Copies of this chain bind each other. A is one copy, B any other.
């Protein structure tokens, strides 16, 4: 054996743990358990027929290109088509402003690689996407949290946090935010809140990292301009992905930012994986070209609308009083709040006994708050399974409430 192997590991890897969610997912692979824990899209909606058609064409007509190494920046056709989509939405970017990444998780990783020195500070929502926090921590970042209200990250608390950090001589590298159907809460920022956050970022000269994986999974309400679009000072970096509106199994994402920042992404990506698989990039490009992506987005949003409405109806029907939840206009998740005296992590075992699972909300709070919350996914399962799962969860919560109320506390 290697002597003292532990001493070989980097400080950063020593500070990292396996994702709590992925460990929970393993626990919940028992077939009798209904799990709201995952963050998976509904696989029955995957456009396999269209993909079979497009893939066969790509292999036939441009196989030697699609199976070869690609450029680090990404497939030229895919970049062109993505840029055109942005331009159609009124966002004036060029190809030099966009790089393809190996899903948006790589966008997060490279953002950290580019900006974070050990002990640098970044600001995130309370709660916020766990995979982003992991990526930042893996480069030694300190995470400072700012609470959300029903309109997303609170701008008053954001400014207060920046001033508090200033007192300590700390200038945060960036503000990480998910303006549309935030993971884990499902909350969206109205345009005025986005403008407020950008104004603060401008005032204090901070970069904004806008994570937009759910952006196009809107099934209710009115689309709000992205922070990228609202930005006037080139300080917004936007991360996009096909994982929720197309297929996650391709691992295709992208980053949009000012040219100087994209240049750093290119340099960082070269050392990380050279390029994203050319094969799935070219298939995606041809899929877009044929109009299949827009068709697929319509299919997904329509299905998720039905799922969310049914989910909310079931929650209303089965949940004990004193339990509340968010009602998102899009995305894959909603956030449930238990009475304050219930710790969702402790309650997890009771739920498993009732054969239902979820992610305890505290996993998403960098400061350990949110003990009485949980994230529920409504996209993956069918209506029947969702309903049965909610029944089980409601029963488990009712049992927990009764147990807590009858247990004298000392």
State the A residues within 8 Å of B (CB): 1-5, 8-13, 16-19, 22, 40-41, 43-44, 46, 48, 51-52, 55-56, 59-60, 63-72, 102-103, 105-106, 109, 113-118, 120, 131, 134-135, 137-139, 173-174, 205, 207, 233-235, 243, 247-251, 258, 260-261, 264, 266-268, 270-280
Contacts and interface: CB of A to CB of B under 8 A. Distances in A.
B138 A271 contact: yes
B273 A102 contact: yes
Contacts of A233: 1-2
Contacts of A9: 114-115, 264
Given A13-B267, A274-B105, A48 B40 contact: no
Nearest to A261: B5
Contacts of A205: 2-4
Nearest to A11: B117
A264 B109 CA distance: 16
A277 B250 contact: yes
A338 to B, nearest CB: 28
Closest 6 interchain pairs by CB? A43-B64, A48-B63, A249-B278, A67-B249, A67-B247, A134-B271
Given A8-B173, A56-B56, A67-B249, 13 more contacts: A9-B114, A18-B270, A19-B270, A22-B270, A40-B69, A46-B63, A51-B59, A68-B248, A102-B273, A109-B272, A135-B271, A249-B279, A272-B272
